[in-house]
Structures are given as structure tokens and as C-alpha cells.
């Protein structure tokens, strides 16, 4: 994309043009030329949106809950961006992105910008471009951005590095489910939602979950004392200040929209907690530090790819090593040495 093309796109996004926003996210997702300039230019206009991550096992009701959340935010006069990530095929690279089907409450409402993304081979529940797509939605002026991950099992915890507040959805019906969550997902939730709360076994799941969270925090107060529907977040209590945020368990019936207002209140409470304790600031700093490191790693890697080519390509280098003419360490030193020298010279 030309420099003028990027400028137009940035202007369009800041101007609130849906088409420009859609195109910007495509540019980001495809890593098209100019995407870096695009994200760089949009960054200055971000920082106003609250980012909510929603994760949970497949079929837990993530998409339906996200739809109802978006609707409730709209009823409160807020604009919403949604990014829904679905898995890509390990064989063809293709994907069927089906989360949009559940977005029935927000049809015809362009103030809800819904975008489906394929994970494009990434494990972890999000795609590489998700963070940059959030930047675009934030710059566009969305008040709330909801990120729905790939249906997650145990270790799809990338959403933690992306969202301000992480909502973990749990299905009622089996204690085993909760057991399974123990190692990974249970550790990342700020708010737990037992969806399909009208199903048999929901109460047990809620109890199990509270117990588990109680153990996780190792605190003696709190978890067991939550009140189910309508329970308030404990983070506001002075007693809990030292312990930080106590994860709340909420029951919802997403298909009916039941419990969604409670969820939104809790999300607001959590955000207020993040802001008051300075945690929001700390999380943002961690996020940007990781982003910078990640960019440096990938940039350095592509710089090195270029150097490998300059030394005759990987095949040639491997030939030499295989013929015992040289060894991997010497090859690595040979390629890296000029770069290191260059860095040293620049520094002086």
C-alpha cells in the first residue's frame, strides 16, 4: 500500500468510516505492505476503549453471550467492537467462521462492528493480528471492545495479554469440566460466568467454581460468600484491597439475556478496580513491553533471513556443515559478526 493509501485509511478510520475500518483490519490481518505505518499512526488515537476478553470451552455460549453483552452496552448508549476468533484448518489453512450467526440482537446496527478472524494457525486462542485489530477499533472510537477467543480448553490464555478484563465461561453439568480448567484457564479469569444456569448441575458448578477460586487465592474470606445472581464484586471492599481482585462468579442464561446486566456491572467494577489500583497502567505497560519485544524478535529474525540469503542461502550453509567443512556455531558467528560489529560502531 502506498503512503497516501495508508494516510487515507487512517483518516477514514478516525473519521468513523466503516469501510475504512474494515479495510484497515484486513490490511493488518494480511500483513499487507504499509500495515506497520497504519498501526503506528493509529496508536496515538487509542487508549479510550475498555477491552473485554471472553474465553471458554467450545459450545459454552461465548458467541451468544457476546451478542447479548453488545446489545446491553448499546442500550446504555455505548458503541461496541467485537473481534471473534475461530480456528483455522491445519490442513488447508481455511476456516469457517461461524460466530456471526449468533449476533442476532445487533443486526442492522452498524454501531456494533463485528469482525470474524481466523486464528491462522496460531495456538493460544487468538491470531497474531488480534492486538493490532483492537488498536484499529480503539482508534475508530469504540467504547467497548469484546474479544471472543477460539473455544479454549486449557492453555489458550493469550487473551490475558490482550484484554483488560478476562471473562471465563464455564458450562454447567460436570465437575470434571471445572477440574480440567484448574491448570490454565482458572488462573486467568477476572470474572467467571456459569452460562446455561437453567441447566441441571449449574448450582453444583457454581459451588465447585467458587471453591476452586477460593483455593486459588488462598484467602479465607470472599469466594464462599458470593451471592450468585446480582452478587457484587468484592474488589471494592477495603478488606480485599491487599489481596487484589477477588474473581466473581456470575450465573447467566445468555439465550434469554438473563444475568447479563449483572455481568456488565461486574465488568464495570473490575475496570474501576483496575483504574483505582493502578493495575490498568501496569497491565498496559506489560502489554507494550511484550509487544516491543515481540516486534524486535520478528524484525531481527527477518533481518537474519536476509543475511542467510546473502551468505548463499540456508542450503549452501547446511552443505558446508554436513560436509564437516564447518560447524553450526561458526556459521552462526560468521553471519552475526558483521551485524554485531555494525551495532558496536553505531553505539560509539
> How many CB atoms within 10 Å of residue 312?
11
Do residues 195 and 84 make contact, with C-beta atoms less than 8 angstroms apart?
no
* 198 is a site residue for other proteins (CB under 8 A): no
Nearest distance from residue 215's CB to other proteins, in Å?
41
Total residues at the site for other proteins (CB under 8 A)?
42
Q: Using the rule CB under 8 A, which residue among 118, 135, 162, 205 binds other proteins?
A: 118
Asked if 92 interacts with other proteins (CB under 8 A), we say yes
Q: Other C-beta atoms within 10 Å of 205: how many? A: 25
Q: Would you count residue 90 as binding other proteins (CB under 8 A)?
A: no
Q: Record the cell numbers describing residue 221, joined without a space.
A: 474470606
By CB under 8 A, tell whether 154 contacts other proteins.
no
Of 79, 88, 149, 162, the residue at the interface with other proteins (CB under 8 A) is 88
Query: Do residues 89 and 81 touch, judged by C-beta distance below 8 A?
Result: no
Q: Let me know: does 26 contact 35? Beta carbons within 8 Å.
A: no
Considering only residues 14, 41, 78, 97, which one is a binding residue for other proteins as defined by CB under 8 A?
97
Nearest to other proteins of 88, 248 (CB atom): 88
Q: Does 36 bind other proteins (CB under 8 A)?
A: yes
CB of 249 to other proteins, least distance (A): 31
Among 41, 78, 95, 160, indicate the residue that binds other proteins (CB under 8 A).
Answer: 95
Is 186:153 a contact under the CB 8 Å cutoff?
A: no
Query: Rounded to an integer, what distance in angstroms lies between the CA atom of residue 38 and that of residue 15?
Result: 15
Query: Among 16, 47, 58, 93, which residue interacts with other proteins (rule: CB under 8 A)?
Result: 93
Cα–Cα nearest to 102, from 255, 263, 267? 255
Taking alpha carbons only, the member of 123, 246, 125 closest to residue 189 is: 246
Residues forming a β-bridge with 146: 52, 82
Rounded least distance, CB 50 to other proteins, Å? 20
Instruction: State how far the Cα of 212 lies from the Cα of 223, in Å rounded to an integer.
Output: 9
Contact present, 21 and 140 (Cβ < 8 Å): yes
Nearer to other proteins, 115 or 226 (CB): 115
By CB under 8 A, tell whether 297 contacts other proteins. Answer: no
Please report, as ranges, the residues that interact with other proteins according to CB under 8 A. 18-19, 22-23, 25-26, 29-36, 88-89, 91-98, 100-101, 104, 107-108, 110, 113-116, 118, 120, 298-299, 302-303, 305-306
Amino acid at each position: 500500500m502506498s503512503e497516501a493509501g495508508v494516510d487515507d485509511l487512517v483518516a477514514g478510520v478516525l473519521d468513523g468510516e466503516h469501510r475504512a475500518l474494515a479495510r484497515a483490519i484486513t490490511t493488518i490481518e494480511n500483513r499487507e505492505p504499509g500495515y506497520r505505518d497504519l498501526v503506528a499512526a493509529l496508536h496515538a488515537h487509542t487508549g479510550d476503549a475498555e477491552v473485554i476478553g471472553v474465553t471458554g470451552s467450545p459450545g459454552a455460549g461465548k458467541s451468544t453471550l457476546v451478542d447479548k453483552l453488545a446489545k446491553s452496552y448499546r442500550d446504555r448508549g455505548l458503541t461496541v467492537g467485537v473481534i471473534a476468533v475461530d480456528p483455522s484448518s491445519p490442513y488447508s489453512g481455511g476456516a469457517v467462521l461461524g460466530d456471526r450467526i449468533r449476533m442476532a440482537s445487533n443486526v442492522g446496527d452498524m454501531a456494533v462492528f463485528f469482525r470474524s478472524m481466523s486464528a491462522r494457525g496460531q495456538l493460544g486462542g487468538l491470531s497474531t493480528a488480534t492486538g493490532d485489530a483492537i488498536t484499529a477499533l480503539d482508534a475508530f472510537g469504540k467504547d467497548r471492545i469484546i474479544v471472543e477467543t477460539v473455544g479454549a480448553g486449557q492453555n489458550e490464555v493469550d487473551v490475558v495479554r490482550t484484554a483488560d478484563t478476562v471473562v471465563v465461561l464455564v458450562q454447567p453439568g460436570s465437575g470434571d469440566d471445572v477440574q480440567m480448567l484448574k491448570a490454565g484457564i482458572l488462573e486467568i479469569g477476572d470474572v467467571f460466568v456459569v452460562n446455561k444456569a437453567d441447566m441441571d448441575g449449574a448450582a453444583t458448578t457454581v459451588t465447585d467454581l467458587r471453591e476452586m477460586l477460593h483455593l486459588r487465592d488462598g484467602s479465607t474470606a470472599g469466594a464462599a460468600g458470593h451471592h450468585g445472581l446480582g452478587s457484587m464484586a468484592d474488589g471494592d471492599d477495603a478488606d480485599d484491597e491487599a489481596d487484589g481482585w477477588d474473581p466473581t462468579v456470575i450465573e447467566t442464561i445468555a439465550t434469554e439475556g438473563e444475568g447479563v446486566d449483572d455481568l456488565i456491572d461486574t465488568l464495570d467494577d473490575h475496570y474501576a478496580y483496575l483504574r483505582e489500583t493502578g493495575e490498568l497502567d501496569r497491565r498496559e505497560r506489560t502489554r507494550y513491553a511484550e509487544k516491543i519485544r515481540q516486534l524486535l524478535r520478528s524484525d531481527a529474525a527477518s533481518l537474519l533471513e536476509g543475511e542467510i540469503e546473502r551468505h548463499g542461502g540456508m542450503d549452501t550453509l547446511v552443505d558446508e556443515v554436513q560436509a564437516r567443512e564447518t560447524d553450526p556455531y561458526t556459521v552462526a558467528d560468521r553471519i552475526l559478526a558483521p551485524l554485531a560489529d555494525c551495532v558496536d560502531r553505531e553505539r560509539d
